Amino acid sequence: MRRLTILAAVALGMLGSPASPAGTTQSILMTGIAFAPKQVTVHVGDTLDWANQDIVAHTATAKDKSWDVNVLPGKNGRMVMKAAGTFDYICRYHPNMTGEVIVEP
Ligand SMILES: [Cu+2]
């Protein structure tokens, strides 16, 4: 059993090696009813990871409605950016909470 677990861990490690073309992950905090940083630049295929450090739920909602991520208090919400462009986004619960994601090709 222990041997199987080790083999599985090794296999997963290989999948995550730098040889994979998978994108990187950009972290954004939701803290004090604000996104931090407010603006990030990533590439198509990268993952955005919003970490909600507040005690209320937030969303990351593109103003053009192309994506919408709900993040409960103390939780993370992730999304892979699949299209290039400049996306202004807000929290649906706190419309003054704004951010911008620039996705380069
Ligand atoms: Cu909010």
| pLDDT at residue 45, as a whole number | 96
| pLDDT at residue 22, as a whole number | 73
Q: Please report the domains of the chain, with CATH numbers, ordered by start residue.
A: 23-104 (2.60.40.420)
Q: If you measure from the C-alpha of residue 88 to the centroid of ligand 1, how many angstroms do you get, rounded to a whole number? A: 15
| pLDDT at residue 87, as a whole number | 98
Q: If you measure from the C-alpha of residue 79 to the centroid of ligand 1, how many angstroms do you get, rounded to a whole number? A: 17
Residue 90's identity, in one-letter code, is I
- Contact predicate 94/58, CB 8 Å: yes
Q: Is 60 exposed, middle or buried (0-12, 13-18, 19+ CB in 10 A)?
A: buried
Find the length of the chain: 105
In sequence order, which residues have a C-beta less than 8 Å from that of residue 36 and are 6 or more positions away?
28, 29, 30
CA-to-CA distance for 70 and 92, rounded, in angstroms?
Answer: 9
Q: If you measure from the C-alpha of residue 38 to the centroid of ligand 1, how many angstroms do you get, rounded to a whole number? A: 13
| pLDDT in single tens digits along all 105 residues of the chain | 555 554 554 444 444 444 445 799 999 999 999 999 999 999 999 999 999 999 999 999 999 999 999 999 999 999 999 999 999 999 999 999 999 999 999
